[in-house]
Structure 1
Amino acid sequence: MTLFTEKHPGVEAHVPQETSGFTLNHTMLRIKDPQRSLAFYSHVFGMRLLRKLDFPEMQFTLYFLARLEEEDQVPEDPGERTMWTFSQRSILELTHNWGSEDKADFAYHDGNAEPQGFGHICFSVPDLTTAVHWLDRNEVEFVKRPDQGKMQGVAFVKDPDGYWIEIIEPALMTQAGR
C-alpha cells in the first residue's frame, strides 16, 4: 500500500520506519462537571464510556469515550479493556480535577477566547441538516450555524465547558479551501 500525503514544505517525503505502529489515540479536554459532560457526549454525540480511571493520590479522574460500532469487541476484563482502549483511534479523554464542580466561578479556557490556542474537536456526520435539527432539539449552543459566516456548510457548537465542536458533512467539504 502506498502512503499518500500532499506535498508541502516541512512535510517529510517518507514515513520513518521507526514510527511504524504509531497511532493517534486520544485528545484530552479538562472538564468541570463529569456528570454533565458525560451526559452531553454520550447523549448528543452517541459516545460510549470505554474506561474510567481514578487517580486518588493526584485527585483526578480520566474518562475515555469513543463512538463504537456494533462489531466492536470491548473486553470485559478491566486490564484488557484498558489496553484495548489505549490501542484505539479517535478517543476523547475527559479529565476531571476533583473539586472543580464545586467552584461556581470556575471555568477552563476554551482556547478560542484571547489568547487563542486550542481551537476545537470535530465530528463528521452523514447529514448536516439532520444533525443540526438533533442539536437544536437537545438545546446545544451554536457558535456558528451552517448558513452563517464565510464558511458555509460548517457548524460549530459548544460543549458544557465551552469547548468548540465543529460539525461537518464530508460530502459538503469537497470544495473547502484551495
Structure 2
Amino acid sequence: MSKLLHTMIRISDPVQSLKFYIDIVGMVLVEKLEFPDQRFSLYFIQFEGADAGSQIELTHNWDAVDPYDGGTGYGHMAIGVDDLVGTVEHLRAAGVPILREPGPVIGGTAKIAFVSDPDGYKIELIENE
C-alpha cells in the first residue's frame, strides 16, 4: 500500500511562514528538524487531527539569499474550510493577500477563494459541502 506523506515547499523566513500557517491558518507544528552541518531546517505542519498524509514540509535553507521562484509547474495547495467568507475575512484582517474573492467556480457550484502565503505560494480555499 502506498500513501502520500507530505508536500514540500521552500520558505525564505521561518518566522513569517510559521506565523502564517500556525497562527493565522490554524495548523500545528508536528516536528522541527535542524541540520546545522547542511545548513537547513525542516518544519512539518498539519491541521490538528489530520492524518500524516496531509502534512506540509516547510524547508528553510539558511544561506538562501534570492527569493524563491514558484516556477511554472507549481499550481496551488487546497484547504477545505467550513465558512469560506468568514475564513477570507479572518485572513484579510491578518494582512494576508486575497488573490480571488469568495465565489462559485466558473461553470460549477463549488465556492472557492485564493490567498497567498508569505512566499507567494497560492492557496485555494474550498468551502466544505
TM-score (norm 2): 0.88
Tell me which residue corresponds to 2:101: 145
Matched, 1:128 2:92: no
- Shift in Å at residue 149 of structure 1? 7.9
Instruction: Report the structure number with the largest CA radius of gyration.
Output: 1
Matched, 1:108 2:64: no
Tell me which residue corresponds to 1:91: 55
Contact 1:27 1:91 (C-alpha < 8 Å) held by counterparts: yes
In structure 2, C-alpha distance between the alignment counterparts of 1:24 and 1:147, rounded to whole Å: 30
In structure 1, C-alpha distance between the alignment counterparts of 2:53 and 2:17, rounded to whole Å: 21
Any unmatched runs of 5+ in structure 1?
1-19, 73-86, 172-178
Percent of aligned pairs sharing the same letter = 43
Contact 1:110 1:164 (C-alpha < 8 Å) held by counterparts: no
Residue 89 of structure 1 aligns to a residue in which SS?
helix
- Shift in Å at residue 148 of structure 1? 8.3
Residue 59 of structure 2 aligns to a residue in which SS?
strand
Any unmatched runs of 5+ in structure 2?
none
Equivalent in 94, 103, 118 of residue 74 of structure 2: 118
In structure 2, C-alpha distance between the alignment counterparts of 1:149 and 1:108, rounded to whole Å: 29
Aligned residues: 127
TM-score (norm 1): 0.65
Q: Which amino acid aligns with 1:143?
A: L
Tell me which residue corresponds to 1:166: 124
**What is the RMSD computed on CA atoms of the aligned residues?**
2.1
More strand per residue: 1 or 2? 2
- Shift in Å at residue 147 of structure 1? 3.5
- Shift in Å at residue 170 of structure 1? 2.7
